[in-house]
Amino acid sequence: MAGQDMGAGADRSVWNEFTAGMRGRWVQRRAMLRLLPGGGTAVVTTAVLLQVVAGLLPIGFVLATAWVIAGVPAAVAGGVESPAWLDLRDHLITAAALFFAIQLSLPVQAFLGELMRRRIDDRIRDRLMADSFTGSGIAVLEDPEVQDQAADGVSMLRFADWTPGAACAGFIALLSRYLQTVAAVVVVGVVWQWWAAGAVLLAGLIIRFGYRVGLSVFGRIYMSHQRTRRRRFYFRDLLFTAVAAKEIRVFGLLDWVGDRYADAFMASSVPVWRQRRRIFYGPYVLYTLVAFVLLGGALALAARDAAAGVLGIGAFLMVMQAALSSVRIGAFIAESDVQTEYGLNAQQALRRLGELTAAAAGPGGGELPPPELPVREIRFEQVTFRYAPESPAVLDRLDLVIPAGASLAIVGLNGAGKTTLVKLLARLYEPESGRITADGVDIRSFDGAAWQRRVAAIFQDFVHFELPVRDNVGFGAGELNDDAAIEDALRRAGALDFVRRLPIGLDTPLSRQYTDGADLSGGQWQRIAIARALIAVQGGARVLVLDEPTASLDARAEVAFFSRFLDLTRGATSLVISHRFSTVRRADRIAVLEHGRVLESGTHDELLAGGGRYAELFTLQAARFAEDEVPGATAAGDELIEEPADA
């Protein structure tokens, strides 16, 4: 597991990371460099060439300023019109031109780096979306490790300096720094001594590699606390979003949630801070001392040779400035260090996410289901399913037949497995054993996405898109995006009247957070969702599934809705899930689900006559409904479907 590997990496010392972790870091960097083409050939090539120029300009400036200082005595002695003065003037102009060239190149480097980052990160986001929807199932998205990787990877994508694109731009930015170091070392070796050039190069690289290896270990430690950090994000979102705002206020939970957030923050941060002190402070002092001895010794010897006349004043200045320039590679590089390290971590998390989703997707089928499927039936054959290997079976060797062109109601108490059955039918999960067939063909042989287009399912926890009504309904069938089809679906769902009363009709965003937006009641939202399912049927879906979509309606309105719904979908293959037995009595067949199996099935009259579980629960619920009935109230009828859902 990635988390285990990271945890092991977090225990490494800096020395172990340098010796044992080098290969892993090179693998990470090669993977990162393979992302560079995503920045665009022209942009990347221009950025590389500019970095080469930017690496040479400072050394030219060093040489020009050294020549200026060295030429001052001769120019003063020769006077304004002397050749020495003219040489000094030329060197001053050259130094000034190089200085301005360095300054002018900085914003261009930043612009190209930002452009490259944006392009690469856009591709990374596209890949993230593709990985998240690899395969047709959703079980992998509930895996804790996938949640960990997604939390870190997605979180880092929100910070411009922590993304894979920023890491790529940071790698390009290092070209100028390393080229400047090499050029400076060459100057020291040519002007003075090659052994001195090696000493100042070693001084800079010791600090550089010590710092970067320490940063690498720190990155591993940071990534090893993914789960604790995800818990911290959860409590933070509770505090700063509207999701839990009502309950936090009503129940006075602010202090409790705030304390948990603080505890999670400290639990994810204190170990990182502690390890940072261990990694950076002690070792970094040692690196600096070694580099100081090497650099200080070289400069002291250069000063001795200058005093002895072996080095002229200009040559000494060149050696001193070049030596100091070469050691700058060991300092923190603002445009590269954080970006490359955290960008590598983000890329690793997102790559691991892709591996997990790809592995969970499995081979799958590639056939397209025939347009007319199902013609005869959909059949569950000895289907067993559990959400986790150690959990009890939700469905236990279930056998069920859904006749094509007929309505089947699944009823049962909460926890009987009704919603799970729907998720298996829609291939959001795959059975542990057994199979589901359409006209005798295992639906796993079909392409998952193509099969899901044939199933129009509205779940109890359907999505409330903060988008216009037109989109909320039209998502059911993107190809039927004309207003006439959308209004027809709204009318059939009993939602057209209240939609027309919204501020701007179909264009009204269904959220008060937007101008001219409106929020809907629970019942109104359910009618919008049902309209989404109805238009999906018009768009080619062959099976319509309603998973307790009317839970927010009262019992009479629910009975009226199902009566109207069954009339509208007569002849279509429909599956209706409900825990209210009285609402589905008009379905062609009814199956009672209990403990993961079909306990009994038949028509409403047959099940009542049988005196079994259905008859018992139907009688019990009917008695409760009769007690709640208001004397003189209108009987449940089709006219109730036209009432506003929040009436």
Inform me whether the pLDDT recorded for 622 exceeds 80. Answer: no
Q: In this structure, is residue 79 part of a structural domain?
A: yes
Give tens-digit pLDDT for 205-257. 888 877 777 777 776 777 777 778 888 888 888 888 777 888 888 888 888 88
Q: Are strands 407-411 and 573-578 parallel, antiparallel or unpaired?
A: parallel
Confidence bin at 114 (pLDDT 50/70/90): very high
Single out the residue of 481, 174, 167 nearest to residue 338, CA to CA: 167
For residue 189 the two structure tokens come to: 């070796």
Mean of pLDDT values over 68-82: 85
| Statement to judge: residues 332 and 396 lie in one domain | no
Mean of pLDDT values over 93-117: 92
| Statement to judge: residues 155 and 220 lie in one domain | yes
Does 645 or 614 have the greater pLDDT score?
Answer: 614
Please identify, among 325, 360, 395, the residue that sits at the C-terminal boundary of a domain: 360
Query: How confident is the model at residue 32, as a pLDDT?
Result: 82
| Statement to judge: residues 130 and 80 lie in one domain | yes
493-532 per-residue burial string, b: 16 or more CB within 10 A, e: under 16: bbbbebbeebeeebebbbeeeeeebbebeebbbbbbbbbb
Query: How confident is the model at residue 24, as a pLDDT?
Result: 65
What are the residues whose beta carbons fall under 8 Å from the beta carbon of 194, sequence distance 6 or more?
Answer: none
Please count the helices (runs of H) and the strands (runs of E) in the chain.
23, 10
Q: Report d(CA 589, CA 346) in Å as an integer.
A: 52
Q: Report d(CA 286, CA 292) in Å as an integer.
A: 10
Residue 48 burial by Cβ neighbours in a 10 Å radius (0-12, 13-18, 19+): middle
User: What's the CA angle centered on 535, arms 529 and 540, to 5 degrees?
Assistant: 130
The DSSP code for 464 is -
Does 165 or 582 have the greater pLDDT score?
Answer: 165
| Statement to judge: residues 274 and 391 lie in one domain | no
Inform me whether the pLDDT recorded for 156 exceeds 70. Answer: yes
**Cα radius of gyration (the chain):** 35
Q: Report d(CA 346, CA 414) in Å as an integer.
A: 41
Query: How confident is the model at residue 479, as a pLDDT?
Result: 66
Give the CA distances from residue 236 to residues 156, 225, 230, 261, in Å, rounded to whole numbers and listed in that order: 16, 17, 10, 6
Query: How confident is the model at residue 291, as a pLDDT?
Result: 86
Q: Are strands 433-438 and 597-602 parallel, antiparallel or unpaired?
A: unpaired
Q: In this structure, is residue 405 part of a structural domain?
A: yes
Mean of pLDDT values over 98-115: 92
Query: How confident is the model at residue 471, as a pLDDT?
Result: 92
Helix, coil or strand: residue 632 = coil
Strand partners, 592: 411, 600
Percentage of the chain exceeding pLDDT 90: 27
User: Residue 201 in contact with residue 325, Cβ under 8 Å?
Assistant: no
| Statement to judge: residues 261 and 319 lie in one domain | yes
Query: How confident is the model at residue 23, as a pLDDT?
Result: 65
Query: How confident is the model at residue 399, as a pLDDT?
Result: 95
Residue with tokens 């957070």: 513
Does 32 or 44 have the greater pLDDT score?
Answer: 44
| Statement to judge: residues 171 and 226 lie in one domain | yes
Q: Report d(CA 301, CA 200) in Å as an integer.
A: 12
Owning domain of residue 478 = 462-541
Confidence bin at 70 (pLDDT 50/70/90): confident
| Statement to judge: residues 491 and 403 lie in one domain | no
| Statement to judge: residues 258 and 383 lie in one domain | no
User: Residue 117 in contact with residue 163, Cβ under 8 Å?
Assistant: yes
Q: Report d(CA 364, CA 376) in Å as an integer.
A: 24
Inform me whether the pLDDT recorded for 168 exceeds 70. Answer: yes
| Statement to judge: residues 327 and 473 lie in one domain | no
Mean of pLDDT values over 511-535: 86
Give tens-digit pLDDT for 284-310. 778 888 888 988 999 999 999 888 888
Mean of pLDDT values over 518-540: 85
The DSSP code for 468 is B
Output the average pLDDT for the chain.
82
**Number of domains observed in the structure of the chain:** 3
Inform me whether the pLDDT recorded for 22 exceeds 90. Answer: no
Query: How confident is the model at residue 13, as a pLDDT?
Result: 54
Instruction: For residue 585, give the CATH number of its domain.
Output: 3.40.50.300
Inform me whether the pLDDT recorded for 646 exceeds 60. Answer: no
Q: In this structure, is residue 647 part of a structural domain?
A: no
Q: Report d(CA 257, CA 244) in Å as an integer.
A: 11
Q: Enumerate the H helices of 308-377 as residue ranges.
A: 313-327, 337-361
Please identify, among 506, 541, 576, the residue that sits at the C-terminal boundary of a domain: 541
Q: Are strands 377-385 and 395-403 parallel, antiparallel or unpaired?
A: antiparallel
Please identify, among 488, 512, 541, the residue that sits at the C-terminal boundary of a domain: 541
Percentage of the chain exceeding pLDDT 70: 88
Inform me whether the pLDDT recorded for 193 exceeds 70. Answer: yes
| Statement to judge: residues 323 and 399 lie in one domain | no
Query: How confident is the model at residue 18, as a pLDDT?
Result: 54
Confidence bin at 607 (pLDDT 50/70/90): very high
Q: Report d(CA 598, CA 591) in Å as an integer.
A: 6
Instruction: For residue 28, give the CATH number of its domain.
Output: 1.20.1560.10
Mean of pLDDT values over 475-501: 86
Q: Report d(CA 52, CA 467) in Å as an integer.
A: 49
For residue 374 the two structure tokens come to: 């199902």
Output the DSSP codes for 44-67.
Answer: HHHHHHHHHHHHHHHHHHHHHHHH
| Statement to judge: residues 273 and 401 lie in one domain | no
Does 176 or 32 have the greater pLDDT score?
Answer: 176
Does 443 or 494 have the greater pLDDT score?
Answer: 443
Whether the ω angle into residue 37 lies within 30 degrees of 0, i.e. cis, is no
> What residue type is assigned to position 197 of the chain?
A
Single out the residue of 347, 332, 330, 333 nearest to residue 117, CA to CA: 347
Single out the residue of 554, 172, 497, 567 nearest to residue 339, CA to CA: 172
| Statement to judge: residues 496 and 585 lie in one domain | no
Q: Are strands 589-594 and 407-411 parallel, antiparallel or unpaired?
A: parallel
Helix 194-223 × helix 164-191 angle, to 10°: 160
Q: In this structure, is residue 597 part of a structural domain?
A: yes
Does 28 or 280 have the greater pLDDT score?
Answer: 28
25 alpha-carbon distance from chain centroid: 24
